[in-house]
Amino acid sequence: MANKLIFRIHAIQRMFQRAISEEDVRHILKSGKVIEDYPGDTPYPSRLVFGWCGERPLHVVAADNRPDRETIVVTAYEPDLSEWENGFSRRKKR
């Protein structure tokens, strides 16, 4: 993770709606596991990070602005078992 953490307005709105704190997001980015990479995202490549906050599984989508040493939080959510396999690290096949 870069030195500076930036929260997009969308991320702040969704975090509020989903009762996900800034501390939760920092914890996931620091201790979680990257489960998907999105190198083609613009303006910066992003990734999906999975981790646990206590008993709660969380996904955080973050992008890295490497030149400015920033990590930009795009969104955060609790993964849905209807879309993710048990363990929340792999999408279900459709």
Q: What would the pLDDT profile of 54-87 be if each residue is shown by its tens digit?
A: 999 999 999 999 999 999 999 999 999 889 888 8
Residues 6+ apart with CB under 8 A from 90: 35, 84
What topology does CATH give the domain 4-77? Answer: YaeB-like fold (3.30.2310)
How many C-beta atoms surround the C-beta of residue 35 within 10 A? 18
pLDDT of 94:
73
Domain ranges across the chain: 4-77
With bands split at pLDDT 50, 70 and 90, how would you rate the model's confidence at 5? very high
Q: Over the chain, what is the mean pLDDT?
A: 93
pTM: 0.91
